[in-house]
């Protein structure tokens, strides 16, 4: 469906008269643009969807609000990310196109709506990570230490939050590559050198993966980050909270299950049987089908296409295609991140690491936006237990 609709289409979409539609426009509820002729107007479908959802909530408030927390009606307003008609957009630009044409660090600055900006530094190393430790655990330890030592972490206004966020990302990059001399501008090259020094073509794939994983509307970890930000916690604590949500196997931790699955599928001659066993033992097969993408995860499609074009990625791309054919469900980004890692011999933790590095940039954007909007996120619960007395 087009983003802009005619007055007849817009009125029919809402189930109202054109006069009522014009009233909505005059109240600022629906944006309109000049149409083809001098007098015609075109009406923004996203505004119409919001109006229709509000109407549905008013007509059936209990049912709509009960399902809102599970792929239901939108709960918060954001300028960051839109998922619409099977496509993913960051601030109105197609994320797949950004992944094909831009660098990760430049998309971060643009996503934070501060491109260009200067990272403020005072020459002080707030914390020195132990570079021979588990990257994720050491990163979490450093965040805890910084939350106690850096009072600037509580300032979520611009430009302080931008500088703090940039340092957080570079801190995680230090932990991932085991080096202190890192620059976020060179993140993909440094990851490639640390993980697969003989595969320079990996750099472009990592760059695309990071951009595609940066944000995904109000997912579990981003919602967590916004709730914690609304409580006026520090940016370090916001990122820690996001990581806790991300590690769950129904979220970013899914990529680790996908890595295990692909490892087993590579070593079996009975792919179909292995998939059945996974479903029987675990109750599901990870990495297939996404509720927001009935026609297939566009992030997965874009990254899988890039992987298929590489020499080392063809066997993994073929394996994914075979599994998709058996399950009759399209692959998700979690599975393709795992396929990328298997193809290039990356660490088993790398799919999650890529996901986390990218998504941290997204959480920081959400934290800044939440701070600007203000207010504590505090939904109410509908009690369904035994009544007192």
User: For residue range 148-200, what is the model confidence (pLDDT) as tens digits?
Assistant: 999 999 999 998 999 999 999 999 999 999 999 999 999 999 999 999 999 99
CB-CB contact of 211 with 355 (8 Å): no
Per-residue model confidence as pLDDT tens digits over 95-137: 999 999 999 999 999 999 876 666 665 544 468 888 878 999 9
Beta bridge partners of 90: 81, 93
Using a 10 angstrom Cβ sphere, with 0-12 exposed, 13-18 middle and 19 or more buried, the burial of residue 73 is: middle
Mean pLDDT of 355-372: 98
* Res. 372: pLDDT tops 70: yes
Task: Report the pLDDT value the prediction gives residue 114, as an integer from 0 to 100.
Answer: 78
Task: Report the pLDDT value the prediction gives residue 123, as an integer from 0 to 100.
Answer: 43
- Identify which of 231, 230, 229, 225 has the alpha carbon closest to the alpha carbon of residue 244: 225
DSSP state of 39: S
Architecture of domain 94-244+357-373: Orthogonal Bundle (1.10)
253: tokens are: 């931790």
Class of domain 4-56: mainly alpha
* Res. 12: pLDDT tops 80: yes
182: tokens are: 């890192």
pTM for this predicted structure: 0.83
CB-CB contact of 246 with 221 (8 Å): yes
Rounded to the nearest 10 degrees, the angle between the axes of helix 202-212 and helix 350-373 is: 40
* Res. 340: pLDDT tops 70: yes
Q: Which CATH superfamily is domain 254-344 in?
A: Cytochrome P450-Terp, domain 2 (1.10.230.10)
Residue ranges covered by each domain of the chain? 4-56, 94-244+357-373, 254-344
Beta bridge partners of 112: none
**Tokens 């991140």, residue located:** 337
Q: Which residue has the higher pLDDT, 41 or 3?
A: 41
């Amino acid at each position: 469906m087009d983003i802009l609709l005619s007055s007849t289409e817009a009125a029919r979409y809402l189930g109202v008269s054109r006069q009522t539609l014009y009233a909505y426009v005059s109240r600022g509820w629906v944006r309109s643009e000049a149409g083809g002729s001098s007098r015609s107007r075109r009406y923004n479908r996203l505004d119409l969807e919001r109006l229709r959802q509000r109407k549905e909530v008013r007509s059936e408030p209990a049912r709509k609000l009960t399902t809102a927390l599970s792929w239901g009606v939108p709960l918060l307003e954001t300028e960051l990310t839109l998922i619409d008609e099977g496509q993913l957009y960051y601030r109105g630009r197609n994320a797949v196109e950004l992944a094909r044409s831009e660098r990760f660090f430049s998309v971060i600055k643009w996503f934070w709506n501060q491109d260009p900006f200067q990272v403020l530094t005072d020459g002080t190393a707030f914390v020195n990570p132990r570079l021979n430790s588990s990257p994720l655990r050491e990163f979490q330890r450093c965040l805890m230490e910084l939350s106690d030592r850096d009072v600037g972490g509580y300032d979520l206004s611009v430009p302080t939050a931008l500088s703090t966020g940039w340092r957080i990302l570079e801190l995680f990059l230090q932990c991932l590559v085991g080096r202190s001399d890192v620059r976020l501008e060179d993140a993909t090259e440094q990851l490639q050198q640390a993980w697969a020094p003989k595969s320079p073509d990996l750099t472009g794939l990592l760059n695309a993966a990071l951009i595609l994983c940066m944000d995904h509307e109000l997912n579990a970890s981003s919602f967590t980050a916004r709730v914690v930000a609304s409580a006026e916690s520090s940016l370090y604590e916001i990122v820690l909270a996001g990581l806790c949500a991300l590690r769950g196997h129904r979220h970013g931790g899914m990529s680790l299950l996908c890595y295990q699955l692909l490892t087993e599928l590579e070593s079996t001659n009975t792919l179909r049987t292995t998939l059945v066993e996974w479903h029987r033992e675990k109750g599901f097969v990870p990495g297939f089908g996404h509720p927001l993408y009935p026609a297939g995860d566009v992030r997965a499609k874009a990254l899988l296409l890039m992987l298929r074009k590489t020499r080392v990625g063809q066997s993994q791309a073929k394996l994914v295609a075979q599994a998709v054919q058996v399950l009759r469900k399209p692959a998700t980004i979690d599975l393709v991140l795992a396929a990328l890692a298997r193809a290039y011999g990356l660490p088993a933790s790398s799919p999650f690491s890529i996901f986390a590095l990218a998504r941290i940039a997204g959480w920081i954007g959400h934290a800044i936006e939440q701070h600007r909007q203000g207010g504590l996120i505090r939904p109410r619960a509908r009690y369904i237990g035994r009544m007192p007395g």
